[in-house]
Chains A and B, each alone.
Chain A
């Protein structure tokens, strides 16, 4: 069923007295229509994508103030990294953003390589680009499924889309399992290259999986682009370009607000400088725009993956010996920052090495894109109903493992 998304849907939400874009709003001075109700949402609420708590102050059904709390998943990863050797840090970082672990490994290892001045062979750069794009598809598919489930029965099928999306994500995970032996926590990157090479039959499997996903994607769109879906998402959770930049939002959130920025194209790393990355930009800034941007990114990643998997160059996969020498990597004293584009935006690593202990970082700071997405909650929730708040939180796609670290 093809329904035009233009004709239906409510007019965009106009600012009302409920809508005060101030996270530090003084409720004493707020004139409520009814008694203000305080509602603590989370930390064990299924729609909070992990353990995240937000205290909502409701005037009738409308949120006037939202105060988020995080830290429930704080594991002290940065402190732990100060004790571990460079080759032992990678598997720890897989657990940060557990929906796109490949990108977490890459972000850290690129920082290590920059500080140690280690060259990465072309074949490894290729493989990293390909893995990043496949991981982007898997990550966005998981987001689409959980977002559809957050919107709930409105889609006429409850958890149908969720189940379908997980089925497709499984295809990507199978590819990774074939390559690395693991489904989630790969540990396939190390300083100077990759650990696991492409098996001879793997490119064929990639093509098959991508064909299946692409074919089924259209079926989801016909299920999703339904008047009720558009009603629930259009004009909901609008973030304008100015606010998105101010808040430090990145990735699909920034592009859905009309800002044309993608590190893959604008500050290329790996082999992105040899590719035409088509960046999807929407001007709406609402949940529907974020949905459209992510869908366009899945299609673009499918195109790039097909191109890359057909053209893997011959050559070595690593410039260093990956195994059996746990403390081999030594960094000279210095500080670097490296940022890459993950499915959620800019994931950065600030790394400090000292000459006293060259085998592990002196300080390592991870810049998680989801932290900024969660910090946007007090600016976006006010003026919406509780049910819309769930849709907005889903569209922001925060991963709490990454926020809290």
Chain B
């Protein structure tokens, strides 16, 4: 982490003359004292504390559900770090179904990523893909859950369209741009690029200035 990313220590008094709006970090700009401001907000928002407690309680409850479900169905520990746990490919659909039944009914997104083959000190890493899925629970204490599936080149992952109709276009987009295929998708066509387009633009080996047909 570079040194500029550490928060600057606030200085004691407002600068004099008034600081430029572009001064940034160090300047303490004039305004209400923090305690006074918080009291004013609390007076205008009588239910805020109550809501905070409700959200925290619901989120703790959801976190417990997630730990159990990931352990029993996919056999992995649930974590929010690093984009969620890696789940075996064959458990992907069953996990999504169980999560939907447990209240994670809101389909957020799917993200496919291409990783090129790499030579590292510990050995050669082959070319691979990762498909991350995000779901969310609805209402108070809304909790997001994300997990990833690792794929080799040419491998498919189960489509979630039978569970969430909203997955339809998201998966089409990932197929179009990254080239990951979703098994069981009813209509896996390109979404953004023209039908006759060659290649998948969001792959890492697709140069940003690749010329497109008919000019290539």
A residues with CB within 8 A of B: 23-24, 70-71, 74, 76, 78-80, 83, 116-119, 121-123, 191-193, 195-197, 199, 243, 245-250, 259-261, 263, 265-268, 271, 273-276, 307, 310-323, 325, 328-330, 332, 334-337, 339, 346, 348, 350, 352, 362-363, 365, 367, 371-372, 374-375, 379, 404-405
CA A60 to CA B97, docked complex, whole Å: 41
Contact A193 to B10, CB < 8 A, known contacts A245-B106, A312-B32, A367-B108 = no
Write out the residue numbers on chain B whose beta carbons fall within 8 Å of the beta carbon of A379: 165
Stretch at the interface among B21-29, B64-72, B88-96, B150-158: B21-29
Question: Does B168 interact with chain A (Cβ within 8 Å)?
Answer: yes
CA A23 to CA B51, docked complex, whole Å: 40
Write out the residue numbers on chain B whose beta carbons fall within 8 Å of the beta carbon of A363: 111, 113, 202
Contact A263 to B142, CB < 8 A, known contacts A116-B5, A118-B5, A321-B4 = yes
Question: Does B123 interact with chain A (Cβ within 8 Å)?
Answer: no
Q: Which 6 A-B pairs have the closest CB atoms?
A: A248-B166, A335-B83, A319-B7, A266-B142, A314-B31, A276-B45
Does B208 lie within 8 Å of A83, measured CB to CB? Answer: yes
Does A322 lie within 8 Å of B24, measured CB to CB? Answer: yes
Write out the residue numbers on chain B whose beta carbons fall within 8 Å of the beta carbon of A121: 7
Chain B residues touching A, majority SS:
loop
Does B132 lie within 8 Å of A350, measured CB to CB? Answer: yes
Shortest distance between the CB of A370 and any CB in chain B (Å): 11
Write out the residue numbers on chain A whose beta carbons fall within 8 Å of the beta carbon of B187: 23-24
Does B134 lie within 8 Å of A348, measured CB to CB? Answer: yes
Write out the residue numbers on chain A whose beta carbons fall within 8 Å of the beta carbon of B132: 335, 337, 350
Does B41 lie within 8 Å of A311, measured CB to CB? Answer: yes
Q: Indicate with 1 or 0, residue by residue over B189-212, a CB within 8 angstroms of chain A CB atoms.
A: 011111000000110001010000
Shortest distance between the CB of B188 and any CB in chain A (Å): 12
Does A367 lie within 8 Å of B32, measured CB to CB? Answer: no
Question: Does B57 interact with chain A (Cβ within 8 Å)?
Answer: no
Does B113 lie within 8 Å of A313, measured CB to CB? Answer: no
Does B105 lie within 8 Å of A266, measured CB to CB? Answer: no
Does B5 lie within 8 Å of A372, measured CB to CB? Answer: no
Write out the residue numbers on chain B whose beta carbons fall within 8 Å of the beta carbon of A317: 24, 27, 29
Does B31 lie within 8 Å of A123, measured CB to CB? Answer: yes
